[in-house]
Amino acid sequence: MPRKICVVVTARPSYSRIRSALHAIRAHPDLELQLIVAASALLERYGSACDVIERDGFKIDRRVYMVMEGENLITSAKSVGFGLAEMATVFDDLRPDIVITIADRFETMATAVASSYMHIPLAHVQGGEITGSIDEKVRHAVTKLADYHLVASDQAAVRVVRMGEVEERVFVTGCPSIDLALDFDREPVNFEELFEIHGGVGARLDLAEPYIVVMQHPVTTEYARARQDVEETLEAILECGIPALWFWPNVDAGSDGTSRGIRAFRERHDLPHVHFFKNLPPETFLRVLDGSCGIVGNSSVAIRECEALGIPAVNIGNRQAGRDRGANVVDIDYDRAAIVAAVRRLVPRRRVPSQGIYGDGKAGPRIADILARVPLSTEKRLAY
Amino acid sequence: MPRKICVVVTARPSYSRIRSALHAIRAHPDLELQLIVAASALLERYGSACDVIERDGFKIDRRVYMVMEGENLITSAKSVGFGLAEMATVFDDLRPDIVITIADRFETMATAVASSYMHIPLAHVQGGEITGSIDEKVRHAVTKLADYHLVASDQAAVRVVRMGEVEERVFVTGCPSIDLALDFDREPVNFEELFEIHGGVGARLDLAEPYIVVMQHPVTTEYARARQDVEETLEAILECGIPALWFWPNVDAGSDGTSRGIRAFRERHDLPHVHFFKNLPPETFLRVLDGSCGIVGNSSVAIRECEALGIPAVNIGNRQAGRDRGANVVDIDYDRAAIVAAVRRLVPRRRVPSQGIYGDGKAGPRIADILARVPLSTEKRLAY
Amino acid sequence: MPRKICVVVTARPSYSRIRSALHAIRAHPDLELQLIVAASALLERYGSACDVIERDGFKIDRRVYMVMEGENLITSAKSVGFGLAEMATVFDDLRPDIVITIADRFETMATAVASSYMHIPLAHVQGGEITGSIDEKVRHAVTKLADYHLVASDQAAVRVVRMGEVEERVFVTGCPSIDLALDFDREPVNFEELFEIHGGVGARLDLAEPYIVVMQHPVTTEYARARQDVEETLEAILECGIPALWFWPNVDAGSDGTSRGIRAFRERHDLPHVHFFKNLPPETFLRVLDGSCGIVGNSSVAIRECEALGIPAVNIGNRQAGRDRGANVVDIDYDRAAIVAAVRRLVPRRRVPSQGIYGDGKAGPRIADILARVPLSTEKRLAY
Amino acid sequence: MPRKICVVVTARPSYSRIRSALHAIRAHPDLELQLIVAASALLERYGSACDVIERDGFKIDRRVYMVMEGENLITSAKSVGFGLAEMATVFDDLRPDIVITIADRFETMATAVASSYMHIPLAHVQGGEITGSIDEKVRHAVTKLADYHLVASDQAAVRVVRMGEVEERVFVTGCPSIDLALDFDREPVNFEELFEIHGGVGARLDLAEPYIVVMQHPVTTEYARARQDVEETLEAILECGIPALWFWPNVDAGSDGTSRGIRAFRERHDLPHVHFFKNLPPETFLRVLDGSCGIVGNSSVAIRECEALGIPAVNIGNRQAGRDRGANVVDIDYDRAAIVAAVRRLVPRRRVPSQGIYGDGKAGPRIADILARVPLSTEKRLAY
């Protein structure tokens, strides 16, 4: 009997991070894929990742609604609680041999706690990284609950082992999102089609011109500043005048500040060279990114995918602090003038050689192989 | 304004572990105590710790029912989920400056996740210990969520720091349960009164004779074996014929096996020298323990309190594996003959000098002092 | 495609009430049975109805744990809330054409609200009856949420229509529990086997002698009196000395009082002629009942099944007030002397002719036929 | 000791409906007001009624987040479930003598079930009305759970009694929202200030010209049509060219359709004479309404408040079907041409004499008086 591998996807970016592994698990003769889609991945406001997943040909086994509305710290905690409670029933129903949880979003805790308490072996993808903020607490707590660690880089592996995990359970696979980032159809995007199909709001740009991509998320532990921060970026983008495709933030406590900041700014200002998307299918997004002069904001895409692709990045603020980074990244503060200057230097379009920090493009199959052969066990003990 | 210190008590044994700290917090001029009683601490089946707490003169600020019935792995996970969701509301209401969570029971995860996600500084009492089983995953995951670590022993502190916590946030306080264990009225128990007041079932023993105390809990990750294990101990206690006071297990996934094992055994056998208690007030329990020849079973009381008191202990099975232990402990397997032999060696009553492994009896005031002066912050980052 | 009929069973007695309909639905060519087992029907403490259901050959499609422990009014409300939340997911998963909810236990509200809000047509079995207590509020509220009413008696139909339901949606089917009550193997019980197989506690009686059956449940709205009431019955049963098989109460807010009353009484008194069962398989129970001189307590079995079977009943207190009743029932108060006198009159064994008040034994097939042909709709409006 | 009257407000419109009663309860010497604000009343997306309530000088005793995001039928059910579970804790904490629930929104079921199960007398405001849709099921189910009925009209009282409620517990108070509608400062609105202070999006109109108010909510049981319906209205408003203030819909399963319909329409069309508000403070809203030529859409405001104020109303579709209505209302279908014609007839501004169908403006004090003197009881039984 094949091992049942249950992957829980709670957000659009988590899907992108795991997609190549999903393909590899499904294709592996000794594995059977079970797919749970939950939280913001089910919500239209965050791009209905569930629809993308189905369009990609995956069967969704269960859907778990768990986002308690309010976008504040109370409702984040409540969402995880209710998600955890329901995930228990779903796991009992699906009886997986291994559960996979991805990275460090607050909802991963629901997956991790439910599977740990139900004595289902838990594999954690992307542990051992450093970022600060509540994500870091979540990520390392999941490490302590997980039975297998599928980490992106050598440095991450070292940290996981130092935290007391036994070496035989720590695997450097590279990050599956890099698989995706390196394996897409590099044909240029037809921008007229892009706007036609994927909608969004704002100007319909002429993207034969040099353009940039912007992604800015709220920083969870600095709730009150989210709005002020995004306004600084908006002012800078307005000022430098380079055509920009801006991607809407994910759900998160604090998203309110960022999202509302953007909405309010749009009401007050004319932004003739900015187009806003909720999100795009992963491959389309990569083609758009690949065609751009660079990425601006505080997304991990700048640090990870763009490192692999050699795309220059202007990383603003401390959201990515502590993440290992390549030569493609320039770090600056939320300072309008500094942002304007850094963004202007992205033109004309150029590329920076990758150092392969987050993977070599084969993480997915590597993960599937590991899952097929690791001994199944939930017994663990501090290694020291 | 005094700092508001919110302590969440989810079970009778957790209350014993924190009681001296509760007194010290309440007495501290710069602190205000907030007390949440939750989970099995509210349930009669587990000894209504809430009533004990009120009799001890503490005001309970909030009660959170959260035990989903079923006593299996699914309902453990669901209990934590629902508890977490409600704890968020309660924290929002009480607005504590610091939340304290105790040890490693599965419900502590509800407290730890809720306070972390709500950016309330979290202090963890009794981190850094090693036990195996799901408790160990929970304990170390809580360490990664906690902002302050109030640990029992030097060895625990070393482990917490190795896991990546910064040294300035790790404090060796000793365990507050030892405060209690060393500070009670050592007058002998009046056993007639004891049976009269505290009821229980089974024989009313003449405890002027040498007697032992038995406490056996289910081992969560070995669910199916709980019943078989307890029967081995029951057979041994039946065979060796020494008067015994047996204390009922706590709620836990698996408690069913142990509890039902005991109930079934009682129906089938005459146990003329065993009396069963649900629980006793902490001080009465210590006096009973102090008068005994020793403790038998798999409770941490044998390892911790009995070390401080110098009471010999027969520790059965692997539930306490990995815990630092003193000269008072003899470890054996679930083997009837071995248990009988070890238990017989407990008579006549003798004492073993303490090495102070789990504390010097002043943990409570030490904890209060630390809480009054640590800088309030929820920012943390792996120390390496 | 057959219509998917989803039946939600939340307790052992509800299962007995619906069993014949389950068989008929499963056997009907135009219907497909979906079975959800939830709440106390999953719990060993209440007789693990789920095991009985599987032994009866039914496949359980989903299990929903929802009993929040505490057995008080707060936890009843919480149980329904969490059950409702999870039932929504389960209904979304199973996509039934009609949901069936049974009678008036507090958990039925979870089923009824979830299906109403999800626009799934809801059929209610046993509406229109009168009992007082919280059950009555629940029952009539479910009537106002239900789209089809499958009632037990003409009088119940009249009441449902008077409440504003349209006549075409009200069907007098008789009660399916009567189907069961009239269709079992009437061979006498082998009592040695009975005690051997089904355990229970207390005396192993010689039931060749005349014996009685006792069932006493807590009365929800009179919480504090539950214990006092059951003691009055216990004293009476002790005094009259007739062998008795006593069946443990169901879960309910207040069950504590009754259950604890019984436990405490057993510790204090010798009850040489009383045997306690948690429960028996439905058919075995009926054979035991059929062999008895009569039933004592406050169970609806006395009013319903015993009317159909002609078994004399001593109904104590007001729990069954307002229920239509036949000539088999004698009503008395919680008064020891009155109970003793009434119980003594049950000997020697005799039978009372049934008036068919609660059905003719064909409710199950009648219900299946109706479900196969009613128009599917969730639109309704007060008929006046 | 004054009676503690606990009012649960779950949405902005519910607050408007109860406000005058809140004032009267607070002012009554024998009553103490407890205020719980929950569900969409806490959410910015629906106008943060909680802020309005505090600005009005009320103290909020507890906040209950309970809206599960998704805006579909599953999440409506889940929201009620989680709300119910938490409301139980809040009621246990506040220990009210009477709980008040308002009207028929889906969340009222959480309040009604929690208080019923906890044996707290429940008063229901606005029972006995007829509307069709899921609201009607909810409203009548709440009637069957409620102990006191504070209804708006004679006809409603007749219906509640016919449903089996005892007459002594049914009180015709008029609707408290009419108190508000008749008691506000009729000074004309300063529109420049209005736009300045309350923001909103769209054209800043010159409202010295005749203008209309538009309010259109999704119709819950016709989920898929919500978007199509709102587009019909939008086209009509665009065509007739009369300046319009359009108020955003409430949360509801289906709100998505309406809200998204509006958003999409705004992106595609220029609407030079429409301004969109999320909401306004109740009094400001009434002044705006009072100055208008009439109201268009499917809001109950058209049927109730506008009847009392004599404001002409164009009521579209069947959302208000079955509601008693005055001479001010014209009913039409979702037909663009018909809407255009009816809306044009609203100009020039005129008034229609009120028949007092929904109250005389003194409902609030009447409700407070009743709550102060009704016997406290949760015992009820069908009156026939």
- Segment among A72-86, C82-96, C151-165, C222-236 with least mean pLDDT: C222-236
CA pair distance B146, B378, nearest whole angstrom: 8
pLDDT band at C220 (very low <50, low <70, confident <90, very high): low
DSSP state letters, B254-288: THHHHHHHHHHHHHHS--TTEEEES---HHHHHHH
Q: Is D376 exposed, middle or buried (0-12, 13-18, 19+ CB in 10 A)?
A: exposed
Q: Return the structure tokens found at D120.
A: 């707290």
Q: Count CA within 13 A, CB hemisphere, residue A159.
A: 25
CB spacing of A65 vs D69 below 8 angstroms: yes
Query: Residue range B301-326: average pLDDT?
Result: 92
Q: Which residues of D touch C113 (CB under 8 A)?
A: 77, 80-81, 109, 113
Q: Count CA within 13 A, CB hemisphere, residue A308.
A: 24
Q: What subunits make at least 3 CB pairs under 8 angstroms with A? A: B, C, D
Other Cβ atoms closer than 10 A to B338: 16
* Chain A closest-CA separation from residue D69 CA (Å): 5
Q: Is the pLDDT of residue C233 over 70?
A: yes
Query: Residue range B51-63: average pLDDT?
Result: 96
D261 three-state secondary structure: helix
Question: C276 - beta bridge partners?
Answer: C201, C246
Expressed in angstroms, the distance from the first to the final Cα of chain B is 36
Find the closest chain B residue to C203 by CA distance: B267
List residues in chain C touching B: CB distance below 8 A.
42-45, 65-70, 74-75, 78, 82, 201, 256, 260, 267
Read off the pLDDT of residues B339-373 as tens digits, 9 standing for 90 and up: 999 999 999 999 999 998 999 899 999 999 999 99
Percent of chain B with pLDDT over 90: 72
Mean confidence (pLDDT) of chain D:
92
| Nearest of D93, A39, C69, D86 to residue B107 by alpha carbon | C69
Q: Is the pLDDT of residue A221 over 60?
A: no
Query: Residue range C224-229: average pLDDT?
Result: 82
The model's pTM: 0.83
Size of interface A-D (CB pairs under 8 A): 41
| Nearest of A61, A3, A66, A5 to residue A35 by alpha carbon | A61
- The amino acid sitting at B334 is Y
> Residue C21: its pLDDT value, please?
97
* Chain D closest-CA separation from residue C365 CA (Å): 29
> Residue C254: its pLDDT value, please?
43
Q: Which residues of B touch D65 (CB under 8 A)?
A: 89
- Does a cis peptide bond (omega within 30 degrees of 0) precede residue A348? yes
E strand or H helix that includes residue B246 = strand B244-247
> Residue C250: its pLDDT value, please?
66
Q: Is the pLDDT of residue D69 over 80?
A: yes
Find the closest chain A residue to C38 by CA distance: A89
Mean confidence (pLDDT) of chain C:
92
Query: Residue range D347-375: average pLDDT?
Result: 95
DSSP 8-state secondary structure symbol assigned to residue D251:
P
Name the phi and psi angles at B62, rounded to 5. -145, 150
CA D233-D234-D240 angle, to 5 degrees, is 85
Q: Which residues of C touch D145 (CB under 8 A)?
A: 137, 141
Mean confidence (pLDDT) of chain B:
92
pLDDT band at D305 (very low <50, low <70, confident <90, very high): very high
Read off the pLDDT of residues C276-307 as tens digits, 9 standing for 90 and up: 998 888 789 999 999 999 999 999 899 999 99
Read off the pLDDT of residues B171-210 as tens digits, 9 standing for 90 and up: 999 999 899 889 888 888 888 889 988 988 888 888 889 9
| Residues belonging to chain A | 384
Read off the pLDDT of residues A20-46 as tens digits, 9 standing for 90 and up: 999 999 999 999 999 999 999 999 888
DSSP state letters, A188-218: PP-HHHHHHHH--EE----TTS--EEEE---
Q: Is the pLDDT of residue A220 over 70?
A: no
> Residue B144: its pLDDT value, please?
97
- Does this complex have an ipTM over 0.90? no
DSSP 8-state secondary structure symbol assigned to residue A314:
E
Is the pLDDT higher at A59 or at D249?
A59
CB spacing of C67 vs B65 below 8 angstroms: no
Percent of chain D with pLDDT over 90: 72
Of B42, B201, B256, which is closest to C70 when you measure between CB atoms? B42
Which residue matches tokens 């102090």? B290
Read off the pLDDT of residues D71-86 as tens digits, 9 standing for 90 and up: 799 999 999 999 999 9
| Nearest of B16, B35, B204, B39 to residue B106 by alpha carbon | B39
> Residue D207: its pLDDT value, please?
81
Of D83, D119, D145, which is closest to C221 when you measure between CB atoms? D119
Question: A33 - beta bridge partners?
Answer: A5
Pick the residue of B69, B76, B227, B265 with the most C CBs within 10 A to test the interface with C by mutation: B69
CB spacing of B44 vs C82 below 8 angstroms: no
Expressed in angstroms, the distance from the first to the final Cα of chain D is 36
> Residue B221: its pLDDT value, please?
54
* Chain A closest-CA separation from residue C114 CA (Å): 15
CA pair distance B335, C176, nearest whole angstrom: 53
pLDDT band at B253 (very low <50, low <70, confident <90, very high): very low
Pick the residue of A66, A69, A248, A252 with the most D CBs within 10 A to test the interface with D by mutation: A69
CB spacing of B69 vs C267 below 8 angstroms: no
Q: Is the pLDDT of residue C221 over 70?
A: no
Reduced 3-state DSSP string for chain C: CCEEEEEEECCHHHHHHHHHHHHHHHHCCCEEEEEEEEHHHHCHHHCCHHHHHHHCCCCCCEEECCCECCCCHHHHHHHHHHHHHHHHHHHHHHCCCEEEEECCCCCHHHHHHHHHHCCCCEEEECCCCCCCHHHHHHHHHHHHHCCEEEECCHHHHHHHHHCCCCHHHEEECCCHHHHHHHCCCCCCCCHHHHHHHHCCEECCCCCCCCCEEEECCCCHHHHHHHHHHHHHHHHHHHHHCCCEEEECCCCCCCHHHHHHHHHHHHHHCCCCCEEEECCCCHHHHHHHHHHCCEEEECCHHHHCHHHHHCCCEEEECCCCCCCCCCCCEEEECCCHHHHHHHHHCCCCCCCCCCCCCCCCCCHHHHHHHHHHHCCCCCCCCCCC
Q: Assess contact for D306 and D293: CB atoms under 8 A.
A: no
- The amino acid sitting at A59 is K
Q: Assess contact for C105 and C16: CB atoms under 8 A.
A: no
> Residue A223: its pLDDT value, please?
61
Size of interface B-D (CB pairs under 8 A): 18
Which residues have a Cβ under 8 Å from the Cβ of C193 and sit 6 or more positions away?
A: none
Read off the pLDDT of residues B21-34 as tens digits, 9 standing for 90 and up: 999 999 999 999 99
Percent of chain A with pLDDT over 70: 97
DSSP 8-state secondary structure symbol assigned to residue D320:
T
Percent of chain C with pLDDT over 70: 97
Per-residue CA distances from A5 to A105, A141, A376 (Å)? 20, 22, 12
Query: Residue range D244-261: average pLDDT?
Result: 74
Domains present along chain A, CATH in parentheses: 3-181+361-373 (3.40.50.2000), 191-344 (3.40.50.2000)
Read off the pLDDT of residues A340-376 as tens digits, 9 standing for 90 and up: 999 999 999 999 999 989 998 999 999 999 999 999 9
Which residue matches tokens 């016919």? D162
> Residue D253: its pLDDT value, please?
45
- Segment among A63-67, B248-252, C81-85 with least mean pLDDT: B248-252
Mean confidence (pLDDT) of chain A:
92
**What letters, b where the CB count within 10 A reaches 16 and e where it falls short, cover C127-158?**
bbbbbbbbbbbbbbbbbbbbbbbbbbbeebbe
Read off the pLDDT of residues D310-359 as tens digits, 9 standing for 90 and up: 999 999 998 888 888 999 999 999 999 999 999 999 999 999 999 989 99
pLDDT band at C253 (very low <50, low <70, confident <90, very high): very low
Per-residue CA distances from B132 to A355, B322, C233 (Å)? 40, 7, 50
D170-172 vs D201-202, strand pairing mode: unpaired
Other Cβ atoms closer than 10 A to B268: 9
Name the phi and psi angles at A313, rounded to 5. -135, 135
D244 three-state secondary structure: strand
Q: Is the pLDDT of residue D139 over 90?
A: yes
Which residue matches tokens 């023993």? B205
Is the pLDDT higher at B271 or at B80?
B80
CA pair distance D322, C380, nearest whole angstrom: 12
Q: Return the structure tokens found at D141.
A: 């189910």
Alpha helices in D124-225 (DSSP H): 133-145, 154-162, 176-182, 191-198
- Does a cis peptide bond (omega within 30 degrees of 0) precede residue D188? no
